[in-house]
Structure 1
């Protein structure tokens, strides 16, 4: 009789153990927190500004990522004063072969991303020309308008999970910063 009770107890404990394993292994990972965002490595940022034959390219490249050698900034020339440029930004991960175009992911997940452009050069304004599925700006396609001649910086910030809509500043948008680069620019 004692053996039967022991056998029943062992079976009951085994069943309880298996039930616990099954319930733990089947738990849902569909939380609405942001833990499933895998940040992509962005090694190259190219912002091309075009007005007819006047093309200015701003490029940041850091092939070894954060923590290694400093990245390099290249600017093909000055912007022209009192001019309207069409702008396009491209993000690449050049540690992959061929390079992975991160811009496509940002575009596909437009409701989860937004670029912010700020300049210390008086008279420069940047408007975002592309929208996500909810009609909020993304900022891959832009219009940049220059004012009078001057020098300063143009800072580009990419936010992940920003508040949308927002007041157009990265500080108000919240979210996390996927990218921040600052170019020394000249308007002539």
Structure 2
């Protein structure tokens, strides 16, 4: 009997230790699940880049919109790209980005979250059209650029692409390119665009 009691105690302690491990593991899994759930809530189905010509002579403030839509996400139906109009050569536009999760009703505006976590996000722009440049007008709390608001300036007429990338937790400051910034890519879209000479 004297030998059995210690063995029972050891077995009970072992069971208690294993139970603690299982509970800890479940708790960690649950935390991980919550993180995944938060990431799912941040799904970006729609990117809208609105360009408004900086011209005081234009009263109607007509805008050009570049819209990317992918409601069912990667692996589903092909996404759609739409550009409402051509851009004018040698013209300056104010640009504003909006990100939506259209799987929610009403659509969730992810742009607000990017603003709130501006120090962890940055947009990057690149174009294959010669002379087209984009500068970022907004900054995070440390003075580093974000890119929700921007200025797009065209050069000569031409055709090509405009790519917009949103990076999560990029290196800040960086050299202005997505490759140098590192981090992870939240969204990347490429539009076919044309720049034409104004009709005289």
User: TM-score if structure 2 supplies the norm length?
Assistant: 0.81
Unaligned runs of 5+ in 2: 29-34, 56-60
Q: For the residues of structure 2 that align with 1:14 and 1:135, how far apart are their CA atoms?
A: 59
Aligned residue among 38, 41, 46 for 1:44: 46
Query: Structure 1 residues 45-54 or 135-144, which shifts more?
Result: 45-54
Measured after TM superposition, the shift of residue 13 of structure 1 is 3.1
CA deviations 1:81-134 (Å, max 9, x no partner) are 112111111111111111111111222221221110001111111111111222
When the two chains are superposed, the root-mean-square deviation of aligned CA atoms in Å is: 2.1
Unaligned runs of 5+ in 1: 30-35
Q: For the residues of structure 2 that align with 1:120 and 1:81, how far apart are their CA atoms?
A: 15
Choose between structure 1 and 2: higher helix proportion. Answer: 2
Measured after TM superposition, the shift of residue 20 of structure 1 is 5.0
Structure 1 residues 15-34: aligned runs within 5 Å: 15-19=13-17, 21-22=19-20, 25=23
Aligned residue among 1, 12, 15 for 1:14: 12
Secondary structure of 1:114's match?
strand
Measured after TM superposition, the shift of residue 142 of structure 1 is 0.8
Query: Structure 1 residues 149-158 or 132-141, which shifts more?
Result: 132-141
Matched, 1:77 2:75: no
User: TM-score if structure 1 supplies the norm length?
Assistant: 0.86
Measured after TM superposition, the shift of residue 63 of structure 1 is 1.4
Matched, 1:166 2:164: no
How many residue pairs match? The answer is: 180
